[in-house]
Chain A
Amino acid sequence: MMKTMTSTALASLVALGALSGAAQAEIRLGASVSASGPAAFLGDPEAKTIEMMIEEINAAGGVNGEEIALTLYDDGGDPNKARTFATRLVEDDEVVAIIGGSTTGTTMSILDVAEDEGIPFISLAGAISIVDPVREYVFKTPHTDRMACQKIFTDMQAQGIASIGMISGTDGFGASMQAQCKEVAGEFGIEILADETYGPQDADMTPQLTRIRDTDGVQAVLNPGFGQGPAIVTRNVAQLGFEIPLYQSHGVASNAFVELAGLDAAEGVRLPGTALLIGDLLAEDDPQYKVVNDYIAAYQAKYDQEPSTFAGYAHDAVALMVDAITRAGSTDPAAIRDAIEATSGLVGTTGIYTFSPEDHLGLDLSAFRMLEITGEGWKQLD
C-alpha cells in the first residue's frame, strides 16, 4: 500500500515537473482584486486595467519574448476569499508574482501567503501597515493615508490654518485616515478641535457639521472618507453656509465626486490628487505627461470611460511588475523580488517610484498634487 502510494506520488511529481517544463514559454502572473462586492468601485477599474495592460503587452510581443499568462480572481472584498485565492494562485496556478488586494483587509490576507511562499506581491491598498514594517516580498503602489494627511496639512500650514474640525467616515478608508491625520497633525502645528464621524450609509451629516461650526476657533474642515459620504458632507457644508475652507481626501479625487456633490457645493473644495486626475492640465514637459495621457487614452478607447485614481494604482503595479521581470531576465520569484526592490525612477500615473530595502512604497509627497475644484474644473495649486 505504502509503496504504491510513494510511486504514485513520484509519478505525479514527474508529471508536474514535465508540466512546469512545458510552461516555460509563458510568465504566470496572478491577480486577486475586489471586482464585485462593497469594494467594487476599487476593484472593477483595477481588474479592467490589469486585463487591458496584459493584453497590450502580449500583443507587443510579451516580456523577454515570453507571453504573460494572467490568472485574475474576484475576491469580492472578502479577506477570507482573498486568502483562498492567494493560496490557489501560488499552489495551484503556480504564478511567479501576485498583484492585487484592493482593500487593506484583502491585502493583509494575501501578504501572509506571499511572505510564506516567497512570491513577490504588489498591493493596491492604502494602509501604511502594509509596508511598515517592511516585509521582504510585499510592495505597494498607492500613497499611504498618512501622506495624504501630510499633504493636506502642508497646504493648511501655508494658508495659516492652525485649528481644524474633522468629520470622518467609519468605513475602512475613513477610519484609517482619521487615525493617521490625528497622529501627524501635531507635526504641522495643527490642532484638531472637533472630531466627528458618520456611518458609510448615512444620508445627512448636518448635526455633526453643526457641532463643528459651533466649535470656537475652527478654521477649516477636513473630511476623510470615500463613496457617497463626502459628497453629502460637501452639500451639507454648502447648505449650512460655512465660511471656512473644506478639505476632502484623495479618496474622492474624481469627476464623479464633483457630479455627485454638485458643482455649486463642490466649488472651492481642496484635495490631494494624482496626476491621473488632471492629465489634460499637465505641462508637456511634466515627467508624468506621457504615461498618464497614454493610459487615459487607452482606457477610454477600450472601456469608454475615464480611469479612476484606483485604476491608476493597478496600472502602476503592472508597470512595476513588468519592468522588474524584464530586468530580472528570469521568472524566478526571488529574482523578480530583487528587481522590484531595485526599481529606480519608474514613472507611473500615481508618482515616480524608487524602491529600496527600507522603502517598499517608493513614493514621496511630491507624488500628490494639491487640487482645487473651480467652475472651470480642476486647478493645480502647487
Chain B
Amino acid sequence: MEARRKWIQLAVLAALIAVLPFFFPSGYYYRVGALIFVNGLSVIGLVILIGYAGQISLGHAGFAGIGAYACALGPQHLGLHPGLALILGAVISGLLALLIGRPILRLKGYYLAVATLGFGILVSMLLTNERALTGGPDGISVEDLGLRALLRDLGWRISGGEFWYGASGIALLVGAWLALNLFDSPTGRAMRSLHGSEVAASTVGIDVARQKLRAFVISAVYASVAGSLLALQNGFITPDVAGFMHSIEMVTMAVLGGVGSVLGATLGAAILTLLPQVLTVFAEYEQLVLGAVMILVMIFLPQGLLPSIARRLRGRGE
C-alpha cells in the first residue's frame, strides 16, 4: 500500500513535468519551470529535515551557496569539469553539515535555528568579502556544463531553456524518489519518530542525535546540488544565492506547500516561484500578498496546502 502511494506520487510528478511543455506558449515558461524544479529540489531536502526529523534550519541557503560557487570556482581554479564540481560541492556541503551538525544537533529547540542562521550568514559573508577568490558581491561567471553541446553533436538540437527544464526536471524526480524511499525505510521511520517525541524515540532505542545528523547532512546535500544546478543554468552567480532571504524563502516554500509531503513541498516551491512572475503588475504589493498568503495558510491549513487539501478531499469521499 505504502509502496503504491510512493509510485503514484512519482508518476503524478513525472506526468506533470512531461506534459506541461505542450501548453507552453513561449520559451520563457521553460525557464520558470526549471526554476521551480531547482527550488523544489532544495525544498525536498528541507522536507527531510523539517518534515521528517522535525528540525529547523535557517541557513540552508549557505549550502546552496557552496554548491553554486563550487561550480563557479572548481572549473576556474582546479580545472575540474563543472559536473564534477557539482559533486565536489555536494561532498563539501555534506562534510560541513556533518562537522557543524555534530555539536549543534545535541541541543534542543531554538539552538539549531540560531546556529544554522549563523552558518548561513558566515557563508554569505565569506562569498561577499573574499573578492580575490569569489569575485565579491558583483558575482562570478560559471562555465557551461557542455552537455547541450554534446547533445547537439548527437544531432539533438534543443534550446538552453528546454535543456535546463529537462535536466532540472530529472533532478527533481530523482530527488523526490530518494526522499520517498527514505520515508518508508527504517531510517526514515526513525527520523519521523523524533518529530513525534524525542523522549519516546530514545526509549525505543533510537539514537536521536545520530538520526538528526543524518537528516541534516542529507538536506544539506540536496540544497548544494540545487545551488549547483541554479549556477550552471544561470551561467552567472552572486552571493545572493547564499543570502539570509534565500534561506527564509526555502523554509517558506516547504511550510506553505506542506512540510511533511514531498509533493506538497514541490507545490510550495511552484507557488512561491510563480507568484512574483504573476504579480509583476502589482510588484509593489508582492511582499504584502506573500505575507497574507502565508498567514492564511498557517491559520486555516496549518499542515500546508497539499496535505490539508488532500485530507479534506479524502474526508468527503468517505
Please give the residue numbers on chain A whose beta carbons come within 8 Å of chain B beta carbons, in ascending order. 5, 12, 35-36, 73-74, 77-81, 83-84, 87-88, 90-92, 104-105, 108-109, 112, 116, 127, 129, 170-172, 175-176, 179
Contacts and interface: CB of A to CB of B under 8 A. Distances in A.
Nearest to A37: B245
Interface string B137-150: 11101000000000
Contact of B236 (A77, A109, A176): A109
B203 interface: no
Contact of A36 (B161, B241, B284): B284
A91 B234 contact: no
B240 A80 contact: yes
Contacts of A176: 136, 138
B132 to A, nearest CB: 9
Nearest to A171: B137
Given A5-B22, A80-B230, A105-B138, A175 B236 contact: no
Contacts of A79: 139, 234, 236-238, 240
Centre residue among B128, B129, B138, B160 by max chain A CB count within 10 A: B138
B27 A175 contact: no
27 contacts: A12-B25, A74-B280, A77-B240, A78-B240, A79-B238, A80-B35, A80-B230, A80-B241, A83-B234, A84-B28, A87-B27, A87-B31, A88-B28, A88-B31, A91-B27, A92-B25, A92-B29, A105-B138, A105-B238, A108-B139, A127-B138, A170-B128, A172-B137, A172-B138, A175-B131, A175-B137, A176-B138
Contact of A74 (B32, B237, B241, B283): B283
Chain B facing A: main interface SS: helix
B289 to A, nearest CB: 14
B276 interface: yes
B141 A170 contact: no
Contacts of B240: 77-80, 105
Contacts of A91: 26-28, 31, 161
A115 B12 CA distance: 37
Nearest to B38: A80
Interface residues of B, number: 32
A290 B240 CA distance: 41
A92 B284 CA distance: 22
A92 B28 contact: yes
Contacts of B26: 91-92
B118 interface: no
A83 B29 CA distance: 13
A147 B32 CA distance: 38
Given A84-B31, A91-B27, A172-B137, A112 B235 contact: yes
B139 A104 contact: yes
Contact of B139 (A36, A88, A105, A170): A105
B181 interface: no
B277 interface: yes
A294 B141 CA distance: 40
A172 B28 CA distance: 29
A73 B32 contact: no
B247 to A, nearest CB: 14
B258 to A, nearest CB: 24
A36 B283 CA distance: 9
Interface string B266-304: 000000000011001001100000000000000000000
Contacts of B28: 84, 87-88, 90-92
Nearest to A105: B238
Contacts of B31: 83-84, 87-88, 91
Centre residue among B137, B235, B277, B284 by max chain A CB count within 10 A: B137
Contacts of A81: 276
B138 A104 contact: yes
A91 B30 CA distance: 10
Given A36-B284, A88-B28, A179-B131, A108 B236 contact: yes
B41 to A, nearest CB: 15
Given A73-B280, A79-B238, A109-B236, A84 B139 contact: no
A87 B233 CA distance: 13
Contacts of A12: 25
A173 to B, nearest CB: 8
Nearest to A81: B276
Contacts of B32: 84
A176 B161 CA distance: 31
Contacts of B160: 116
Contacts of B141: 108
A170 B134 CA distance: 13
A17 to B, nearest CB: 14
A87 B27 CA distance: 8
A35 B283 contact: yes
A170 B137 contact: yes
Given A35-B283, A84-B35, A91-B28, A109 B131 contact: no
Contact of B277 (A77, A80, A88, A172): A88
Contacts of A84: 28, 31-32, 35, 277
